[in-house]
Amino acid sequence: MTNPTINLIKAGRQNRRRRWMLVTSLLAVLACVLCCTMLLLGNTIYSVQDVIRALSGEPLKGVSFAVNTIRLPRMLAGLFAGFAFGIAGYTFQTMLRNPLANPNVIGITSGSSVAAVFCIIILQASGAVISVASIIGGLATVILIYLLSRGRSFSIGRLILVGIGIQAMIDAAISYLMLVSAEQDLPAAIRWLTGSLNGAQMDRLPPLMIIVVICTPIIIILGRQLSLLELGEQAATSLGVNTDKTRIVLIISSVCMIAIATATTGPIAFVSFLAGPIAIRLVGIGLSNIIPAGLVGINLVLAADLIGQFAFPYRFPVGVITGLLGAPYLIFLLIRMNRKGEL
């Protein structure tokens, strides 16, 4: 009796699934193209053969250094950080049901950033200490925002406004740390305020890679619970989701990704904010958008870095370019929320 209906449902789902596959593959291809471009382009443009030979370990004068020591780490840092920012941003936005409720807007990335800056400049620490500190900084910011925005009832509008305030305060703290430090220089300051891939080093990358490899599957496995949390606390609970546990695991996984990515590249402005909404626009909302959001994150970071490096007479760090893209969208969302009376 239900056959025509089942067929109708199947057809609709197949269409959406096909679109998901298509968009995801295109995003992956684009990411590959951008990765290759990152290796080929630079002060000198090397041939594909030279780049491949250098990558496979053949010592080539000039090429080996430029490709293996400068361009490869830069590309990998952008790749992993973009993926981490995209997925973590999407997770927060979906969990809190608002694109503004995002690590980049509500100060979580800044929290990680200030912890990393403090370790590097004041404690002269490196490696694991920075990673751990940035995770603690990110989680501490989450807790602080939660405590300050907790009123009689939970309000996302209040959480976002408190977060924006905290973000401004932390950024001021970062600026202060930069000023009092002995080795103050502009590129470093910009890295910790808006993010930059300049000076990415191979030996700094493993923590980021490890965290991404661990946390991405966790978030993907919890993807369906995440999409139920989106329907509200009550609906999720009655569908059998353990909401508190799920939320804590999701928050810790995404803050870990955000924190380590921030400790590596700085808080690349607005990537975690833009990736989710762009992915949703491209794919639709029925299926999980976690992987598409990560891929959009990669594409944003790598494309913005290439533009920053080569499109202007001066070289701009990646965060300046993504900031130019993200700020208008932030204003647009704030205006729309205000019109709807949500702020």
Partner 1 sequence: MKPTHHFQAERIVAGYENKTVIHGVDIVIPSHQISVIIGSNGCGKSTLLKTLARLIKPASGTITLDGKPLNKISPKQLARVVGLLPQSPIVPEGITVTDLVGRGRFPHQSLFGNWSNKDYAAVAEAMETMKITEFANHNIDELSGGQRQRVWIAMALAQETDILFLDEPTTFLDITYQVEILDLLTDLNRKSGTTIVMVLHDINLSARYADHIVALHEGRLVAEGTPSEVVTSTLVKDIFGLDCTVIEDPVSGSPMVVPKGRYHVNV
Q: Which residues form the interface with partner 1 (CB under 8 A)?
A: 2, 5-6, 8-13, 15-16, 97, 221, 224, 227-228, 230-235, 237-242, 280, 284-287
Task: Dig out the tokens for 20 from the structure.
Answer: 């998901």
CB 75 within 8 A of CB 298: no
CB of 150 to partner 1, least distance (A): 11
Closest CB to partner 1 among residues 64, 246: 246
Distance CA 47, CA 64 (A): 12
**CB 289 to partner 1: min, Å:** 11
The answer to whether residues 273 and 42 touch, using CB atoms and an 8 Å cutoff, is no
Nearer residue to partner 1 within complex by CB, 138 or 277? 277
> In Å, how far are 12, 14, 17, 113, 144 from 6, measured between CA atoms?
10, 12, 16, 51, 49
Which residue, 6 or 45, is less far from partner 1 as judged by CB? 6
Q: How far is the CB of 282 from partner 1 (least distance, A)?
A: 12
The string of DSSP letters for 158-169 reads HHHHHHHHHHHH
Q: Which is nearer to partner 1, 281 or 338 (CB)?
A: 281
- 196-215 burial, b for 16+ CB within 10 Å, e for fewer? bbbebeeebbebbbebbeeb
Q: Determine the Cα–Cα distance for residues 254 and 219; give it in Å rounded to an integer.
A: 8
Question: What's the closest the beta carbon of residue 182 comes to partner 1, in angstroms?
Answer: 50
Phi, psi of 342 (to 5 degrees): -95, -5
Nearest approach, Cβ of residue 82 and partner 1 (Å): 24
Q: Please, what is the minimum distance in Å from the beta carbon of residue 213 to partner 1?
A: 19
Toward partner 1, which CB reaches closer, 155 or 175?
Answer: 155
Q: How many CA atoms lie within 13 A of 152 on its CB side?
A: 0
Which is closer to partner 1, CB of 5 or CB of 56?
A: 5
Query: Structure tokens of 314?
Result: 């001066």
Q: Residue 77 Cβ, how far from partner 1 at the closest point, in Å? A: 31
Determine contact, residues 119/269, Cβ cutoff 8 Å: no
- CA gap 149, 165 in Å, rounded: 11
Q: Which is nearer to partner 1, 18 or 97 (CB)?
A: 97
Beta-carbon contacts of residue 178 (< 8 Å; ≥ 6 apart): 117, 121, 184, 188, 189, 192
